[in-house]
Amino acid sequence: MSSSPVPRRTAWLLIAGGFAGLAAGVGFGVTLTTGLVFVGLLGGLAYALGVSGLAERKWIALPAFALGLVAPFLLTFGGHSVLMQRIGHVEHCTITQAEEHPFAKYPSVDYVLACPSGEVELSRDWDDRLAIMEADVLVGSPLRPVFADNARWNLVPVTSVPLAMTLLVPVARALRKVS
């Protein structure tokens, strides 16, 4: 039972659409809400299908799908952190309201903070809840604000994944030409 090759045009459309979906998901995830990382995940999967179809080799599917699945999360969370380090500024805020969820599946605390730039709503895991009624918040429009004490990301892993995705496309194209 042999499979028919994926048309070249379809593979290129999946790759281009995947990159566009990934960019949209990451852009919306960084500015609006992390829940939109799902759009980036769909884009990453479309990219992986396109690269696998372009190469017509089964072994290239593993790195393509690994990159397609990792990229949305790494670019959304790591990219947000790197951008906030570059363009954000720290504001000292006061907690005006705290809503605890200790018995939820994932225990957390939702905070409403009064900052000099305006009101900010943030959440923290139950184990990392704030002990005092003040916090430093990293703010930088148009990005989502975050607590200033969150882990910092490095630019290298954030840029290496899109670079690897871009370099995998010519490899897939060369593999198709060989066959």
The pLDDT tens digits for 121-166 are 988 888 888 888 888 888 888 888 888 876 677 788 888 999 999 9
Over 90: is that where the pLDDT of 78 sits?
no
Band of the pLDDT at 15, cuts 50, 70, 90?
very high
pTM score? 0.76
Mean pLDDT for the stretch of residues 6-19: 90
Cis peptide before 63 (omega within 30 of 0): no
Do residues 34 and 103 both lie within one domain? no
Do residues 79 and 12 both lie within one domain? yes
The residue range of the domain holding 52 is 8-85+154-178
Distance CA 66, CA 69 (A): 5
Do residues 57 and 118 both lie within one domain? no
Q: Is residue 36 part of a domain?
A: yes
Over 60: is that where the pLDDT of 178 sits?
yes
Q: Identify whether the C-beta of residue 86 lies closer than 8 Å to the C-beta of residue 77.
A: no
Q: What percent of the chain has pLDDT over 90?
A: 34
* H-run or E-run covering 96: strand 89-101
Higher-confidence residue of 89 and 177: namely 89
- In the chain, the number of structural domains is 2
Q: Identify whether the C-beta of residue 95 lies closer than 8 Å to the C-beta of residue 112.
A: yes
* H-run or E-run covering 136: strand 134-139
SS3 75: helix
Q: Is residue 3 part of a domain?
A: no
